């Protein structure tokens, strides 16, 4: 517990994304050698988006961006991450949507279909959060 907040799964997911970035790029996405602790802390607080170089494929970027979304509620769950084509190696599969992308998609479909998709989506959210077995 730090600053009165508990760390949970969303922080672990973010850390996995940063580790993946570092393993591919060979460097940490934010920290610079010789940097003061306070400078690094400010970067993590103001973090909005990672910058990717040529070492990253678009599918790797997709997964890491979804793992490192600045808003914890918009990050992939572990179940979503494990279904990502870069993990499954099924590159023809659709990339799972995060919560924000799913909401935008649902807002773009007609009313009847939206109700069915909303129900299916929220049932999967409930299941992923172990609220139903």
Where do the structural domains in the chain lie, given as residue ranges? Answer: 1-95, 97-133
pLDDT of residue 24: 92
Contact 97, 105 (CB under 8 A): yes
For domain 1-95, say whether CATH 3.30.70.930 is its number: no
Beta bridge partners of 5: 2
> How many Å apart are CA 56 and CA 94, to the nearest integer?
19
The alpha carbon torsion through 125, 126, 131, 133 (nearest 10 deg) reads -100
Inter-CA distances, 61 with 33, 64, 84, Å: 24, 5, 12
pLDDT of residue 23: 92
Query: Whole-prediction pTM value?
Result: 0.66
- Could you read off the pLDDT tens digit of each residue along the chain, which spans 133 residues? 345 566 778 888 989 999 999 999 888 887 878 888 888 778 777 777 888 888 899 899 999 999 988 888 888 888 889 989 999 998 888 888 877 787 777 777 777 776 777 777 777 777 665 554 4
pLDDT of residue 2: 46
Residues 117-133 as b or e (16 or more Cβ within 10 Å = b): eeeebeeeeeeeeeeee
């Amino acid at each position: 517990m730090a600053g009165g907040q508990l760390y949970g799964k969303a922080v672990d997911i973010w850390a996995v994304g940063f580790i993946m970035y570092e393993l591919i790029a060979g460097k940490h996405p934010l920290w610079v050698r010789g940097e003061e602790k306070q400078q690094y802390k400010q970067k993590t607080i103001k973090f909005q988006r990672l910058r990717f170089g040529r070492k990253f494929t678009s599918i790797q970027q997709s997964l890491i961006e979804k793992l490192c979304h600045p808003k914890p509620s918009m990050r992939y769950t572990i179940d979503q991450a494990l279904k990502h084509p870069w993990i499954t190696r099924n590159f023809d599969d659709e990339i799972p949507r995060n919560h924000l992308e799913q909401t935008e998609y649902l807002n773009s479909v007609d009313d009847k279909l939206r109700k069915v998709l909303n129900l299916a989506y929220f049932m999967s959210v409930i299941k992923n959060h172990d609220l139903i077995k």
